[in-house]
Structures are given as structure tokens and as C-alpha cells.
Structure 1
Amino acid sequence: GHRWWAPLQKGGGLVDFCMQTDDLRRDTAAFRQAGVAIDDPKPLSRVRPDGYKLSWVLSIPRDAQRGVAPFLIQDETPREERVPRQMTHRNQVRGIGAVTVAVSDVAPVRQWYARALGAGGHDVSRDDLTAAGARFTIGPHVLDFVAPRGAGSPLTGWLKARGPSPYAATLLTVSGKPGPLDQAKTLGARFSFA
């Protein structure tokens, strides 16, 4: 079955995350050279109901690295045709600010990203999760790769049940109260507003 079905059976939540690129072959090679097992770029397409054909290319990490290393995407048709830029949400979310990924061992992940991105990231301590790890900033986005610092960390149970994978995301909003959203309304995903 598809990799997403097992997490859905365990209550939902985040499964993967994506990085958009303007040079998929270069970035796929960079992650591969950094030690990530990632598939060759694969072209995909679909036809919208209005008849417009959308085309993009994906490179997807394999096995246990998937969900810790991103899948990479490069649009061949204008991105705005696939993902409208001016989405208006009642909650006034404007984008993703941060993704927190639970890992058992930060060292290899830090090495992948440092090599692939050409920047070492920096240490991060997440007292809210009783966890520590590495933070990488990519454009306006933050990626935290954190491991539990003890049995009291919520990441301990997460890793036991799901393995290394995205744990939470922070959404940027221009209004609305900061803080966590109700997981019953987010299909089990841990989202918070900032």
C-alpha cells in the first residue's frame, strides 16, 4: 500500500514535506551526494477540469529517509497554475513558517542538510518537546530536526509508533491567536499559528 495509509490508520498527521526547486537534477544530485537515497527525477502531469495540462517533476527519497529528507519538486508549467498564489483563508494563514521533524539520531540528518544546502545549520533546544537537534533556515522557512532528550518527550512515543517523520508545522498568519490548533479539526496534524 501507499506509504501514507499507515499514518492515517494511526490517527492521521503529517507524513512528508516538500522542497520546491528550480534545478531538480542538481538538487537531487546534491542530496544523493550528501547520503540520501533518493529516486531519479520522475515527470508527472494531470489535466485540470478546464482542460489545462499541469506538468511537474518529482524526486522522492526512499524508505526510512522519506519524511526526514524532503521530496523535491520542480514545476514545468507555471506554478501558479497548480498552486494559486493568492489563496484567502478565513484563518488568514499566509504560509508555512516551520516544520518540526522527529528523528532518533540528529547527526546523519544534520550532515545531509549541511552538505546538500551548503550551510551547517545550528543547534536548537526545544524545551516544549524536551528535545534538541539542528535547525536549518531555507528562505523564510525553518526546519527543526530534533531527537527526544528523555522518555518524557512526546517525540519518544511518536518515534516508536511512526519512526522518523514530520511531527508538527507552524503556520504563519496575519491575524488569529497564536498557539496550537485542535487536532480533531486538522485530521491529526499538529499545526500551530505564529
Structure 2
Amino acid sequence: MVTAGGDDGEPWTSRLLGLFPTARPPVPALDTAGDRDVLADRALAGIADLFACYLLVELPALYLLDALAGGTLVTAAVAPALSVAALVPLYVTYSFGFEWRYSRTPGKVWRELTTVTGDGDPCTLRASAVRNLLRYVDLLGVPPLVVGVVSAVRSPTGRRLGDRLAGTVVVRTR
């Protein structure tokens, strides 16, 4: 029997809430640091987190700003640039907060990843700040993200520049 939640009978609301990280950090699988499929899952997690930032925070905020501006913001030629300009710091702040507090974002929970220090300890405030501030460097290049992708692909442990300077690594959870 199929329910609204799927074949396992779990309601979709429980599945959605299951993506929120818990305070108890998962056990990291440090031996997965160099796996190339971890890089692909990092990309999927990043896209999911970016989508969550846009859908849950930026879109309602832009709607409210447009309503306060009398409906002139959306029709303005500056709206797409404003959206991108607001989304980048929003995403960096979102990632920083989740990784500092839980060592993972909801996207990483979905892909069963976690951010840890080199010895497997949870991500610290300093490490999260460094790695997320360096996301701005990752965005450099034409097209954007060239620096971040190249540094992660060329690293034997899949570490981008922010990970290297923060002493962190993204690995699978057990």
C-alpha cells in the first residue's frame, strides 16, 4: 500500500523534518575523504541548500520588498542582479550557521555528508567561518565556481581552498 509519504509509509512531513541536522554529530567516515562520488554529492547538497535559501528566505523577502516598494521591484531591470547579490551572502551565512552548529547543512544531511576537522572532530566556529568566507573565492572564474571546483578536484582528499585553510574535510557519515 502506498501512502502520501511513499512506499515506506512515512509521511512526507517526517521526511522533510528528517533533513534538519541534529545536535548530536554523526560518526564521520574519514576514509571517504578522497572518494570522487563525495564531490558529486557535495555539489548536489550545495544545490539543494542554495534552493532552500532561495525558496524559504530570499523569495519571501523579495516578495515583501516588492510589496513595500509598490510593485516596482519585480518589474525593474535590477531585480535579477539584486536577487543574485542577496543570495550569495545569504547562502554563505546559512552554510556557516549550520556547519558551525551541526557540522552539516540540510543538503549534506540529505546526501549523508558531514564537515569535520582533519582528525574527525566536529566543525568549529573558526573552521566554519574560514571555510565559508572562502566560498567567495570559490565563486571566482569564468564561469563562476571554477576556483572551487578545480581546487576540490585536484585535491586527493577533495578539499577546496576553504577546507584547506580551515583544516576541514567533507566526508560521508556512518
- TM-score, normalised to structure 2, is 0.25
Q: Which has the higher helix share?
A: 2
- If the length of structure 1 is used for normalisation, what is the TM-score? 0.23
Q: Which has the higher contact order (CA 8 A, sep 6+)?
A: 2
